[in-house]
Amino acid sequence: MKKILLIATGGTIASRPLENGLAPAADAATLLSYVPEVRSFCEADAVQIFNIDSTNVTPEHWKTLAQTLKENYERYDGFVVCHGTDTMAYTAAALSYMVQHSPKPIVLTGSQQPIEKEDTDARINLRDSFLYAASDFAADVTIVFQGKVIAGTRAKKIRTKSYNAFDSVDFPVLANIRDGRIIPYIKTAKEKSPEFYLELCPNVGLLTLTPGVRKELLDAYFRLLDAVIVSGYGTGGIPENDYYAFDEVLRAWATKGKTLVVTTQVQHEGSDMSVYRVGRGWKDRFDLLEGYALTYEAIVTKLMWILGQTREAAKVKALFYKTINYDLIG
């Protein structure tokens, strides 16, 4: 039997109703006690590393999680991470960069209802996650939720309350899980050993443009942050007229070692700044990176990982355009 470690971090799955609303309270052993059937196909242990609402997650929590995985990696055949749904896609993306090429599965899951509720989705999500983690073909970082197995860099929370809360953006699910049976669609190549990275640079910010936004806001982002992601319109269009005067800001910061990424607010199909002048002009005038079909979650966490390793512009660019766990497609 394979040995699987449950790593509990809090979230709705561990929550109980308190005076001011739901808050994490159940511990790792309690979560595991609600799925005794997993012991029929694997050995299961549990550890609690923190117990918080995922809204409160920071890059420091990701470091703790990656360190826990590293410390326990040789002792277990796979890992299930119980996590709140609100920032689960960010954590899955972050772990995809912090634990690369893992031949052992690192499966994130959670629920829309607490595990102690009678009509919860928690127990089936947790059982499915153990089932997938104990399978022979699972590898790398994934999210298992409502029967979907999603690559860690392609996941996005698309519904706030419904059980089918997550989807894979512009990329097929890796597998489905139905009635205790895994139906794989994409086989992830297994590497011999993982690469662990425990350093992150949190000074990364996302500015979503709205009509009329002032150039002073973009300037403040560059002043306060090491990398700025500008989320433009359509295929990656950025205003270039005198009203906005964004060019003035970019010229002022162009030689100061800051990283600029342009992406799109549109959820599907990604950016293509070559289509319109308002995109192509920016690419011609400035040394920037384009997000293409990377999700917001992947862009933010990938930059945190990259800037935790290097600040050399050529290396930053090379790492940004390196495909990791299906993050760059097309």
**Residues classed as catalytic:** 12
Strands 15-18 and 21-24: what pairing? antiparallel
Amino acid identity for residue 303 in this structure? L
Beta-bridge mates of residue 227: 204, 259
CB neighbour list of residue 293: distance below 8 Å, 6 or more residues apart: 169, 170, 269, 270, 271, 328, 329, 330
Distance of alpha carbon 131 from alpha carbon 134, whole angstroms = 5
If DSSP codes are grouped into helix, strand and coil, which group holds residue 102? coil
* CA quadruple 34, 37, 39, 41: dihedral, nearest 10: -140
Whether 311 and 257 have beta carbons less than 8 Å apart is answered as yes
Beta-bridge mates of residue 149: 144, 175
Whether 175 and 184 have beta carbons less than 8 Å apart is answered as yes
Sign of CA dihedral 153, 53, 157, 31: positive
Distance of alpha carbon 295 from alpha carbon 329, whole angstroms = 11
